Amino acid sequence: MTGASIIRSAELPLQNVKSISDTSLTAYFRLTRLADSESYCLNTSSSILGIGWALFDSAQDDTNQQLTMVKIKSDVRRDGLKEEDCIELGRNYLEQHAQSGLDIKLMASNRDIHFSIRPEDVQNFLKSVDNVATDNKSSSGE
């Protein structure tokens, strides 16, 4: 992506993770800016050990609002399946959940994973996005 800027958070400490014991999950926030467009994403990476599978295909929040999910990749390995997905979240959605945090459910035909992200992690990501925007304006002389 020529001319794109990407802001990525550190790996997020997931709270209240509820899943089948053979499944592990990590997540981080990512913002991609290209010209006048912005794409906010909660990237998730799940690993399923052994012969299990999931192929997560949808996500929703604690109000049962469907969230747009984009499959980044699925990789079948000897030790199991690894999936990477992007749950698209707009800036407004993140701002609305900055005080309460996020409660997300990833869904597949044979399993779900529930997890929460703390309010301070949402707030810290939004602050880092704003700081980069402020730094860019300062350095361009605006």
How many domains does the chain contain in total? 1
- Of the candidates 70, 48, 46, 49, the residue with the CA atom closest to the CA atom of residue 59: 70
Domain that holds residue 34: 5-135
Does 140 map to a domain?
no
Does 73 map to a domain?
yes
**Residue 3 Ramachandran class (φ > 0 left, ψ -120 to 50 alpha, else beta):** left
Does 141 map to a domain?
no
Could you tell me the pLDDT band of residue 137, with boundaries at 50, 70 and 90?
low
Does 123 map to a domain?
yes
* pLDDT tens figures, 68-126: 999 999 888 777 788 899 999 999 999 999 999 999 999 988 888 999 999 999 999 99
Does 89 map to a domain?
yes
CATH, residue 112: 2.60.40.10
7, 120, 127, 136 from 141: Cα distances, Å: 21, 31, 21, 9
Mean pLDDT for the chain?
Answer: 87
Token couple for 87: 């749950």
pLDDT recorded at residue 63? 96
